[in-house]
Amino acid sequence: MIELKKEIYEKLVSEAEKISNEEIRSITLNILKEPKITFTKAEPKISLHESPAAPKKHHAYPGGLVEHTWAVLTIAKNLAEIFEKTYHVKVNRDLIIAASILHDIFKFYQYEKDPITGGFRPRSDWYLSHQFSIIAELSFRGAPEILIRCLAEMHGSVPTSMIESEIVKFADSVDAKFVSRIQDIIWDSCKDIELLTDGKYIVQKTYPQILMKKTIFELARIYYEEGRDKLTEYIIRELGIEL
Tens digits of residue pLDDT in 44-67:
999 999 999 988 889 989 999 999
Q: What CATH architecture does domain 2-175 belong to?
A: Orthogonal Bundle (1.10)
Separation of alpha carbons 172 and 182, rounded Å: 16
pLDDT cut 90: percent of the chain above it: 85
Which H helix or E strand runs over 121? Answer: strand 120-122
pLDDT in tens, 173-202: 999 999 999 999 999 999 999 999 999 999
Tens digit of pLDDT for each residue in 64-117? 999 999 999 999 999 999 999 999 999 999 999 999 999 999 999 999 999 998
Q: How many CB atoms lie within 10 A of CB 3?
A: 8
In whole numbers, what is the pLDDT of the chain averaged over residues? 94
Whole-structure pTM value: 0.93
Contacts of residue 192, Cβ cutoff 8 Å, sequence gap at least 6: 228, 232
Contacts of 214 (CB under 8 A, 6+ apart): 238
If one compares 82 and 157, the residue with the highest pLDDT of the two is 82
pLDDT at 240 exceeding the cut of 90: yes
Q: Residue 111 — φ and ψ, nearest 5°?
A: -115, 165
Q: How far apart are CA 166 and CA 100, in angstroms?
A: 11
Higher pLDDT among residues 132 and 158, named by residue: 132
| Cβ atoms within 10 Å, residue 161 | 10
Looking at per-residue pLDDT, the higher value among 133 and 159 belongs to 133
